[in-house]
Amino acid sequence: MLERIYLDNSATTPVDPAVVEAMMPFLTGKFGNASSIHFYGQEAKAAVDRARHQVAALLNARPNEIVFTSGGTESNNLAVRGLINARASSADGRDGLTGCHVITTAIEHPAVANVCEALEKKGCSVTYLPVYQDGIVRVNDVSAAIREETVLVSVMAANNEIGTIQPVAEVGRLVRTLRNEGQKIWFHTDAVQAVGKIRVDVEEIGCDLLSLSGHKINAPKGIGALYVRRGVRLEAQNVGGRQERGLRGGTEPVQMIAALGTACEIAERRLETGSVSVAELRDRLEAGVLEAVPESSINGSREARLPNITNISFKGVEGEALLISLDMQGIAVSTGSACSSGSLEPSPVIRALGHGDEFARGAVRFSLGPQNTIEEIDRVLEVLPASVENLRRLSPRNAAAK
């Protein structure tokens, strides 16, 4: 039987057995609606409240600042679209979103980038800040882009393709300073990839809004949360009942919320030791690839990055072809964001680093988890060099060069 090795944890993670155990009571006997006032409802409500405390503890937030959502995409939509729409509706005489200005980066996840593009079509002005070869935005660029009409800065905590950690605490201080001086401006960070991999503290970052997703931290798909600092006004995107402080109408999926709470509690325990061991495996993989595969290179900073992601470009190779070759040998990797799979265009994140299409098309993301082992990494290092060599030999571009 083919040995399977999963190195695509940034797309999704396996559900932790303890998380499954936390869900099960709410799929069987404890089936009440958390909005009901009888015993069954209050039993469910207690589970939701407990999970809210667990998520808040991981972020150093207050429990009443946590809003449960269906995942990172909904959290980002509620944060960005919700804040801009609330700001626009409070401005007398404004024509649509004209007069609103948003600052973001060129390497945001589609769940932020596409929302910004949609806002532009409605009259909102958006500035997309560049990153440099290290994949990191500069705080000075953020500062220089701010205008009198800027109402939101959205900078991801860590990139989903190359793992680079952005200077969000410095951006947070900049935004707070401006707000203290009277400007109505807020700061959102998409922390979907960062939460559970590095310490994420909303007070240290100084953000007003922060998005996270359960399936990146060993909870099921379909549950996430948005941190909303007290006093921040959003327009609800799901209009219905008064659940989640009126910001997200709909009956609470108690079993999923319990799962997210447990996953956050486990992630908090793993932070001190788990990240170190995963980083060691990542470094072992990188060293082996760079030694065995000529004309391969690491994308983005090798210092300010998550411990579990490495993104490597292989010159003369199509990343999709390498992905398929590795998958046929039991190794699961990615060419970038799972939300962009199916796109024939080179990764915009790799291109934003200043690389040409050849490097961008040859980029492969390896994202590790606590379940990975040294033996698995060594197996990848056995298989990968021959796969790259074979694809280079078969490449029409390389054949033409000969």
From the candidates 100, 124, 264, 339, which is the catalytic residue?
339
* SS3 assignment for the chain: CCCCEECECCCCCCCCHHHHHHHHHHHCCCCCCCCCCCHHHHHHHHHHHHHHHHHHHHHCCCHHHEEEECCHHHHHHHHHHHHHHHHHHCCCCCCCCCCCEEEEECCCCHHHHHHHHHHHHCCCEEEEECCCCCCCCCHHHHHHHCCCCEEEEECCCECCCCCEECCHHHHHHHHHHHHHCCCCCEEEEECCCCECCECCCHHHHCCCEEEEEHHHCCCCCCCEEEEECCCCCCCCCECCCCCHHHCECCCCCHHHHHHHHHHHHHHHHHHHHHHHHHHHHHHHHHHHHHHHCCCEEECCCCCCECCCEEEEEECCCCHHHHHHHHHHCCEECECCCHHHCCCCCCCHHHHHCCCCHHHHHCEEEEECCCCCCHHHHHHHHHHHHHHHHHHHHHCHHHHHHC
Residue 264 bears catalytic tag? no
Q: Which residue has the tokens 């793993």?
A: 270
Strands 101-105 and 150-154: parallel
Residues catalogued as catalytic: 339
